[in-house]
Chain A
Amino acid sequence: MLLEQIHSASTGKHDRATPVSSASLGEEIECDARSSVMDETICEATTLMLAVRDNRSKQAFASLFDHFAPRLKGFAIRSGVASGQAEDVVQDVMLAVWNKAHQFDPKRADVSGWIYQIARNRQIDLFRRSSRPVPEDLISEETETCDAEQIVGLEQEVSALRDALSRLKPSQRDLIEKAYLGELSHSEIRETTGIPLGTIKSRIRLGLERLRHDLRETTRR
Chain B
Amino acid sequence: MKNISHHIPDALMAAYVSGNLPHAYALVVATHISMCDTCRASHAAHASLGGVLLETGPERAVSTDLRGRVLDMLDAAPREQAPIRRAGIFPGPLMEAMNSTPPRWRPLGAGIRQSILHHENTSSVRLLYIPAGEAVPEHGHGGLELTLVLQGAFEDETGYFGVGDLEVADGDLDHQPVATGDVPCICLVATDEPLSFKRLLPRLLQPVFRI
Q: Are A78 and B51 touching (Cβ within 8 A)?
A: no
CB distance from A1 to the nearest CB of B (A): 12
A121 contact set on B, CB distance < 8 A: 19
Q: Are A202 and B41 touching (Cβ within 8 A)?
A: yes
From B14, B19, B70, A65 is in contact (CB under 8 Å) with B70
Q: With A and B bound together, what is the CA distance between A121 and B47 in angstroms?
A: 11
B residues with a Cβ closer than 8 A to A are: 1, 10-12, 14-15, 17-21, 23, 25-27, 29-31, 33-34, 37-38, 40-63, 66-67, 69-71, 73-74, 77-80, 83, 85-86, 91-93, 96-97, 144
Q: With A and B bound together, what is the CA distance between A133 and B1 in angstroms?
A: 22
Q: Are A132 and B23 touching (Cβ within 8 A)?
A: yes
Q: Are B54 and A116 touching (Cβ within 8 A)?
A: yes
CB distance from B77 to the nearest CB of A (A): 5
From A6, A200, A208, B40 is in contact (CB under 8 Å) with A208
Known: A65-B67, A133-B26. A115 touches B51 (CB 8 A): yes
From A11, A185, A209, B20 is in contact (CB under 8 Å) with A185
Q: Are A109 and B19 touching (Cβ within 8 A)?
A: no
The B-contacting residues of A in range 78-129, CB under 8 angstroms, are: 78, 83, 86-87, 90-91, 94-95, 98-100, 108-117, 119-121, 123-124
Q: How would you classify the secondary structure of chain B's contact residues: helix, strand, loop or mixed?
A: helix
Q: Are A201 and B14 touching (Cβ within 8 A)?
A: no
Q: With A and B bound together, what is the CA distance between A61 and B74 in angstroms?
A: 10
Q: With A and B bound together, what is the CA distance between A130 and B47 in angstroms?
A: 21
Cβ of A165 within 8 Å of any chain B Cβ, yes or no, is: yes
- The 16 listed contacts between A and B (C-beta, < 8 Å) are A68-B54, A113-B51, A114-B47, A121-B19, A133-B23, A135-B33, A135-B34, A136-B86, A158-B51, A162-B56, A165-B56, A176-B53, A177-B57, A185-B15, A189-B14, A204-B40
B46 contact set on A, CB distance < 8 A: 180, 197
Q: Top 8 nearest A-B pairs by Cβ distance? A: A112-B51, A113-B51, A113-B48, A70-B59, A116-B50, A186-B15, A133-B30, A135-B33
Q: With A and B bound together, what is the CA distance between A98 and B54 in angstroms?
A: 18
Q: Are A77 and B51 touching (Cβ within 8 A)?
A: no
Q: Are A133 and B10 touching (Cβ within 8 A)?
A: no
Contact residues on A (Cβ < 8 Å of other chain), bracket? 35 or more
Minimum CB distance partner of A191 in chain B:
B11
Cβ of A49 within 8 Å of any chain B Cβ, yes or no, is: no
Q: How would you classify the secondary structure of chain A's contact residues: helix, strand, loop or mixed?
A: helix
Q: Are B26 and A58 touching (Cβ within 8 A)?
A: no
Cβ of A51 within 8 Å of any chain B Cβ, yes or no, is: no
Q: Are B19 and A86 touching (Cβ within 8 A)?
A: no
Q: Are B57 and A71 touching (Cβ within 8 A)?
A: yes
Cβ of A50 within 8 Å of any chain B Cβ, yes or no, is: no
From B41, B69, B78, A204 is in contact (CB under 8 Å) with B41
From B10, B20, B37, A197 is in contact (CB under 8 Å) with B10
Q: Are A189 and B15 touching (Cβ within 8 A)?
A: yes
Q: Are B80 and A100 touching (Cβ within 8 A)?
A: yes
Cβ of A53 within 8 Å of any chain B Cβ, yes or no, is: no
